[in-house]
Amino acid sequence: MKRVTLLALLLPLAASAQKLDPGNLTTYSEYGHAVDSDGTRIAVAAPTGAPGTGGNVVIWVRNGSAWAVEGTVANNEPMFSSFGQSITIQGDTLVVTEPYTQEARVFTHDASGWTLTQTISGVDTGWVTHAIELVGDTLLLGNRIFVRSGGAFVLSQTLDYAMNTGPGLDFDGTRISVGEREQEQGHGRVRIFVRQPDDTFALEQTIAPSGLPMDAWFGSHKPPTK
């Protein structure tokens, strides 16, 4: 899941850059709180939404050398449910978390637009942004791994770490890196899980530095690109 495309949102605009402005930033409150891209589409979340809404996600699609709004998915109730706290997009699949109900909503795209096709309950992503990743048919939701089967994501495995440690997560399809603060004698750590021949994930290595200033938070933030 590449994020280098998103530099236009973060850096001063170059001559060839484009500002992804949906046109009403009052409606799309906290627009840009979570952002993801697969290179063809960019999903930008506004989890606070407008008064009376529970959050919105705007999907942009590449149109030649420019980007155009392809659609918007939203949750209207309950109010301020933070729909869009974490998002991941790949191809015709978009997954959006909603911490208030501890759910993840799976949307798929076809000729009619973006449609809700699955709701996954019990998603403990807390208030952590970037707590989900989708690579191929494997979906990482916090510490739970889902595999797409028959068009729906089915729980495959639960990894051994707690979401309340404020993890930084990253997943490239083969390895999952999990950062946890205040673990090894008060220091942060990063644990690497690697995919096995049976498609489960097993702990490969733990990285736990010590003696560094503020290293209690080591690994608690996700890398900005990959």
Q: pLDDT digit string (tens) for 87-132? A: 999 999 999 988 888 889 999 999 999 999 999 998 865 545 567 8
**Beta-strand relationship, 35-37 and 41-46:** antiparallel
Q: Band of the pLDDT at 166, cuts 50, 70, 90? A: low
Cα torsion 128, 224, 31, 121: sign: negative
Task: List the domains of the chain with CATH numbers.
Answer: 4-158 (2.130.10.130), 164-226 (2.20.25)
Measured CA to CA, the distance from residue 174 to residue 68 in angstroms comes to 32
User: What does the pLDDT read at residue 107?
Assistant: 97
Instruction: For 150-167, give the DSSP string.
Output: TTEEEEEEE-S--GGG--
Averaged pLDDT score across all residues of the chain = 78
pTM of the model: 0.81
